[in-house]
């Protein structure tokens, strides 16, 4: 079995988040004062986690594309959807991406990520049981409920192979929701007992932290199994006076 951890974090609050204005690839809005505090708190929270790979959106606040609705209030998007006789969650503004297109971008990224990790694992024999990869899981276990929510094969016991990688992704709410939808509907992601599907498919709060364990069985072709350890963790924001 080849296993790696995937930690996904949403960017900190922006002024547009607070004012419920749509922002995507066409709007590079910086973090608000609260957003900077959230990002700093998330950084401190994750400071001792050992990551082998880090991926981030190329926008200042961490690529979504909303077409003509970009930079407008959420109420305007809802009005557009109503005028078109559609519901807002599935409505595509002129020039914007459909939900399926966003989901496909998430799937493509995840497929490339899996290929990269599997290739590197095959090239690096030091990533074996008892090798330094065990420290990756140990650093995660210090702040995430690995033992509580992962099946036995994902626990840090001697019978389980160590993680070959620990990946950090910093992204955006809508993109994350589409990626997680792919995990749930296509890859049949297993959820912690404390988490239901509606909570899983909600939009992450700013700097919400989610952790997944990705498993590839030996000789397995195609899709991996995905286990959700936790969703939208916000422990790092407990000391803040204002959060999103």
Render pLDDT for 149-175 as a digit per residue (tens, 0 to 9). 444 444 444 456 789 999 999 988 888
Residue 168 has a pLDDT of 95
Whether 213 is in a domain gets the answer yes
Would the annotation count 200 as a binding residue? no
> Do the domain assignments include residue 191?
yes
Q: 192 falls in which pLDDT band (50, 70, 90)?
A: very high
How would residue 32 be classed by pLDDT, with cut points 50, 70 and 90? confident
72 is a domain residue: no
Domain for residue 107, yes or no? yes
Q: Is 63 annotated as a binding residue?
A: no
Question: Which residues fall within 8 angstroms of residue 194, CB to CB, at 6 or more apart?
Answer: 149
Confirm whether residue 53 is marked as ligand binding: no
Does the annotation list 10 as a binding residue? yes
Any domain includes 36? yes
The tokens describing 212, both together, are: 């997944």
Q: Mean pLDDT of all residues in the chain? A: 78
**From CA 161, how far away is CA 141, in angstroms rounded?**
15
For residue 109, say whether it is annotated as part of any ligand binding site: no
The span from the CA of 117 to the CA of 58, in Å, is: 22
Cα dihedral sign, 22-8-2-148: negative
Question: Residue 69: inside a domain, yes or no?
Answer: no
Residue 88 lies in a domain: no
Residue 87 resides in a domain: no
Residues 6+ apart with CB under 8 A from 192: 145, 148, 149, 228, 229, 230, 231
Domain that holds residue 202: 2-63+98-150+160-237
Read off the CATH number of the domain in which 58 is found: 3.40.50.1240
Residue owning tokens 């709410």: 173
Q: What is the distance between the alpha carbons of residues 179 and 157, in angstroms, rounded to a whole number? A: 30
| Residue 12 annotated as part of some ligand binding site | yes
How many domains are contained in the chain?
A: 1
Using pLDDT thresholds of 50, 70 and 90, give the confidence band for residue 63.
very low
Residue reference for tokens 């995905």: 226
Predicted confidence at residue 216, as pLDDT, reads 92
Q: 134 among the known binding-site residues?
A: no
Task: Report which of residues 61 and 209 the model is more confident about.
Answer: 209
**99-147: pLDDT as tens digits:** 777 788 889 999 999 999 999 988 775 545 444 457 899 999 999 998 7
More confident residue, 172 or 232: 232
- Is 36 assigned a ligand-binding role in the annotation? no
- Residue 33 among known ligand-binding residues: no
Q: Which residue has the higher pLDDT, 21 or 48?
A: 48
């Amino acid at each position: 079995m080849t296993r790696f951890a995937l930690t996904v974090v949403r960017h900190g609050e922006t002024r547009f988040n607070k004012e419920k204005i749509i922002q995507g690839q066409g709007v590079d809005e910086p973090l608000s004062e609260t957003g900077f505090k959230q990002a700093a708190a998330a950084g401190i929270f994750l400071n001792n986690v050992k990551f082998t790979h880090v991926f981030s959106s190329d926008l200042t606040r961490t690529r979504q594309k909303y077409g003509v609705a970009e930079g407008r209030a959420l109420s305007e998007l809802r009005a557009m959807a109503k005028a078109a006789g559609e519901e807002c969650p599935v409505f595509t503004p002129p020039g914007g991406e459909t939900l399926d297109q966003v989901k496909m971008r998430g799937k493509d990224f995840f497929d490339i990520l899996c290929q990269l990790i599997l290739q590197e694992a095959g090239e690096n024999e030091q990533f074996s049981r008892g090798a330094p990869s065990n420290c990756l899981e140990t650093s995660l276990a210090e702040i995430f409920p690995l033992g509580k929510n992962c099946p036995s094969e994902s626990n840090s016991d001697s019978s389980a192979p160590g993680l070959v990688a620990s990946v950090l992704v910093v992204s955006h709410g809508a993109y994350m929701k589409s990626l997680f939808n792919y995990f749930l509907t296509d890859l049949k992601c297993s959820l912690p007992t404390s988490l239901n599907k509606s909570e899983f498919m909600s939009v992450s709060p700013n700097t919400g932290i989610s952790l997944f364990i990705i498993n590839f069985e030996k000789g397995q072709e195609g899709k991996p199994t995905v286990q959700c350890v936790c969703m939208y963790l916000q422990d790092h924001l407990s000391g803040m006076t204002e959060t999103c």
